Structure 1
Amino acid sequence: MKVLGIEIKGREVRIVALEKKDDKIIDYTGNYKPIELLDDEISDNVILFKNTLFATFDNLSPDEIIVKYRNPKGKGLQAPSPISFKIEGIIQIYNDCKISIISPNTIAAFYKKNNLELKPNYGYNLEALKFAFHHIKTN
């Protein structure tokens, strides 16, 4: 089973790719860097972003993509940006695998009882790693 964990942070999509083989979990993310949506008012930028994102998905060939839920009613520091909803919509139209959205509360409850057995290649990938790892361990 191959899973991509995704965190949308501002204009960035942060991805971690995990694969479960037998009883081992392998991080096959590689030297991935976040994919950023530049000026979203220019449709060519949105199309380039979508094409880059989908090419990354195709290259990693997941069985499922797990996206961190962002609360549309969040206030203050918890409020998601409007651009993040545009990015989520773009992710959801990828049709080569199942897309699931998981609540941070589900993840928090899981990590109260379980340890994250892997370390992210880069610190900014920690949340995406937690989501992918949770999904591999619970499915």
Structure 2
Amino acid sequence: MNKEQENLHMATAFAQTYFHGTKADLKIGDLIAVGFNSNYEERQLKHVYVSSTLNTAVLGAELAKGNQRERIYVVEATGDIEDDPNVTDKKFPGNPTMSYRSIHPFKVVGEVTLWHGRTSEQIKAIKDGLDRLREQGMNMILD
């Protein structure tokens, strides 16, 4: 391995990890791109959302619409990313959830198969709270 290959290998080995929680059935190599319906609303979003924390991705999978199995994918950015303004400074100061978004696709590079979720009672309470915010016009996704 030459020096350039070694540097690339090291950069890849220590690259930022991103997770995407969903109920979509994806395969290694698939791209998660804009143009698909949101996990949470009946509309297409202009960004793909990810997190650097497993807990936040788990919540994303738990809140996603549909009856399919909840899944957590390890994804790789293919372009620039930015802090998610839906939680950064809107709900929490800074970015403690380590939530991000991009107009560029994320490539599925793995799946987390062992994780612990919330109880059905906890999920119901979260969904009820989001419904109340939506009724008040306060739970909007900023595109």
* Structure 2 length-normalised TM: 0.23
> Higher relative contact order at CA 8 Å, sep ≥6: structure 1 or structure 2?
1
Q: Normalising by the residue count of structure 1, what TM-score does the alignment of the two structures yield?
A: 0.24
Tell which structure's C-alpha radius of gyration is larger: 2
- Greater helix percent: which structure? 1
